[in-house]
Copies of this chain bind each other. A is one copy, B any other.
Amino acid sequence: MAETLDDKLKAIQQEGNHMTKKQSQIVEAAIELIAEKGYYNTSTSEIARRAGVAEGTIFRHYETKKDLLVAIVTPAIANFSAPFFAEKFVKEVFDESYQSFEDLLYAFIRNRFEFAQSNVPILKILLQELAFHPEIQTTYKQVFGTTVYPAMDHAFTYYKEKGEIGDLPTDVLIRMIVPTIIGFMIDRFMLNPQKDWDDELELRRTVEYILQGIRKNECQ
């Protein structure tokens, strides 16, 4: 138990490496089934069947069914939240790589959009199960509190000073921006994935909506 959550998160990002073939079959099957039907409607025997392994094999790799869920969802939290902030927000904002908040926001949304696009089922699971599993909530809070929030706070402060963002607290800005982005992705990937989307257009619209919504209110 000396292992910290932080260690775990790091370990997780390289997970793919040391997984046996059967293990990744299990994870893949679990992701498909749980995304589709939810954690409590998916039995371990069903996962085993779809993965083409014996039920006992699941428990050789994951002590409990919940451990399997956590093993699926934790990297998603780490990867969805962290990378962009670690690399882009913190570094490039200082580098002034982004001329304006708009540039940053656009890069951010596009980057997360692309990540989501490649990870729809896992993110679906994350969204659906977050409410029911304290273990996941803890990880989420940890990641959000140490990585996402500070980076956002930092960036907001910077652009507020530059006058590009209205004078709203970070909490409020997050409460505006995040649901807008997630709302778009839910619509795009979960509610109406089959629709004939013009992703470029919608990304622009989303950026625009947020930008106008939070910008300094100069024209009123």
Contact = CB atoms under 8 A, between A and B. Distances in A.
Interface of A: 37-38, 40-41, 127-128, 131-132, 168, 172, 175-176, 178-180, 182-184, 186-187, 202, 205-206, 208-210, 212-215, 217-219
Across the A-B interface, give the 8 residue pairs with the lowest CB-CB distance, nearest first. Answer: A179-B183, A219-B219, A40-B40, A213-B213, A209-B213, A179-B179, A38-B132, A212-B212
Contacts of A183: 175-176, 178-180, 182-183
Stoichiometry (number of copies): 4
B217 A212 contact: yes
A205 B172 contact: yes
Contact of A213 (B168, B175, B210): B210
A180 to B, nearest CB: 6
A213 B179 CA distance: 14
Nearest to A178: B183
Nearest to A174: B187
Nearest to A191: B175
Contacts of A212: 212-215, 217
Contact of A214 (B41, B209, B217): B209
Nearest to A124: B131
Contacts of A168: 205
Contacts of A215: 212
A218 B184 CA distance: 25
Nearest to A210: B213
Contacts of A202: 172
A37 B183 CA distance: 24
A139 to B, nearest CB: 16
B38 A131 contact: yes
Contacts of A184: 175, 179
